[in-house]
Amino acid sequence: MRLEGKVAAITGAGSGMGRAAALRFAQEGAVVVVVDIDGPAAQAVRDEVAAAGGRAMAVRADVAQASDVKGMVDAAESTFGGLDILYNNAGYWRYAIDGYEPGVTDGPSPLLTEDIWETTINVSLKGTYLGARYGIPALRRRGGGSIINCSSVAAFRVGHGASDAYTAAKGGVVALTRSLAVEHGPEGIRVNCIVPGPIETPLVDRIPPEAREAFGANVPLGRWGRPEDIANMALFLASSESAYCTGQMFVVDGGYLAL
C-alpha cells in the first residue's frame, strides 16, 4: 500500500474532492483525519472509511479560524501519534457555495462586497496558510512529510470574469505553495499544489446550467472531471512516488488551460 503507516489530515473532506481523497488515501493504508466545517458530513465520511475497513476520525473545523486548525493538528497527533500528510483542500467560491443571486457577486470589484472578499480569502488562502502554520511543526516532528494545497485553473485563466476574490485567493495559494516549498525543503517537507479544472461535485449543482455548459465546452477531453481524478493526483503527491517533487503546480483539467 502506498500510504501504509501514514497519517493524513484532509480539509474540506465532507464532500466532493476531499471526500474522494479521504476514501482513496484510506484505501492505500493511510489513517485519515476527516476535517470539515460541516461536522455531520465529516462524520459520515469517517463512517464510510471505517465501513471499507480503514481507520479515520472526524474533526469539525473552520479552516479560517486558527484555533480550529490548531485543534485539527493536535487531534491528529494525540489520537494517531503524528501527522505525515496535510491536504489543504477546503476552499470557497461564492457561486458554488451559495448559488447565484441577483446583485450578489464575486466580481467585478466595484460590485464585490467586503464580506464576500473576506470570506473567500479567509477560507481559500488564509486557511491554507493556517494549515501550514500549524501543520509544518507536526510534519517536522515526523522527520518530514507532504503538504498538498489546492488552487484552481482560475488562477491562470480568467475564463468568465466575475470572480475577482476567487482568482485572487487561488493565485495566492500558488505563490504561497512555492514560498513554503523553498523554505521547508531542507527539512524534508514537500509542498505542492493541485490545480483542478471543472470538477463534478455536489456544489456545482448550484451553478446555472448555461454556465456549466460553457465550462464543459472549453475542455478538450469533452467532460467535467470527477473527484476521483483529483484524488488520484493527491495520492501521487502524498506518496513517496513524488519524492523529488516540490514547489510545483499539478494541473488536472482535461486540457482546459491548453486552449
CATH number at residue 18: 3.40.50.720
The label of the residue with cell 450578489 reads: 104
Residue 229 in contact with residue 170, Cβ under 8 Å?
no
Is residue 257 a part of any domain in this protein? no
Q: Residue 21 burial by CB count (10 A; 0-12/13-18/19+): exposed, middle or buried? A: buried
Is residue 240 a part of any domain in this protein? yes
Phi, psi at 54, each rounded to 5°: -95, 175
Quick one: pLDDT at residue 229? Answer: 99
> Could you tell me the end-to-end alpha-carbon distance of the chain, in angstroms, rounded to an integer?
37
- Examine the pLDDT at 71 and tell me if it is beyond 90: yes
Range of the domain at 197: 7-252
Q: Catalytic residue positions? A: 166
The pTM of the full predicted model, rounded to 2 decimals, is 0.94
Is residue 1 a part of any domain in this protein? no
Is residue 258 a part of any domain in this protein? no
Buried b vs exposed e over 46-60: b needs ≥16 C-beta within 10 Å? Answer: bebbeeeebebbbbb
CA distances to 163, 165, 201, 234 from 251, rounded to whole Å, are: 20, 21, 18, 11
Is residue 65 a part of any domain in this protein? yes
Query: Nine-digit cell at 243?
Result: 519524492
Residue 107 in contact with residue 164, Cβ under 8 Å?
yes
Quick one: pLDDT at residue 205? Answer: 75
- Examine the pLDDT at 98 and tell me if it is beyond 70: no
Q: Annotate 141-156 with DSSP letters as a single string.
A: HTT-EEEEEE--GGGT
Quick one: pLDDT at residue 41? Answer: 98
Is residue 63 a part of any domain in this protein? yes
Residue 230 in contact with residue 251, Cβ under 8 Å?
no
Quick one: pLDDT at residue 107? Answer: 56
In the chain, how many domains are there? 1
DSSP letter for 123, please: I
- Half-sphere CA count of 122, side-chain side, radius 13 A: 13
Quick one: pLDDT at residue 19? Answer: 99
Quick one: pLDDT at residue 93? Answer: 79
Average pLDDT value over all residues in the chain = 93
CA dist 87 and 68 (Å) reads 15
| Helix, strand, coil % in the chain, rounded to nearest 5 | 50, 15, 30
Is residue 68 a part of any domain in this protein? yes
Is residue 58 a part of any domain in this protein? yes
24-28, 90-94, 154-158, 160-164 — which is least confidently predicted? 160-164
CA distances to 176, 188, 191 from 66, rounded to whole Å, are: 17, 25, 20
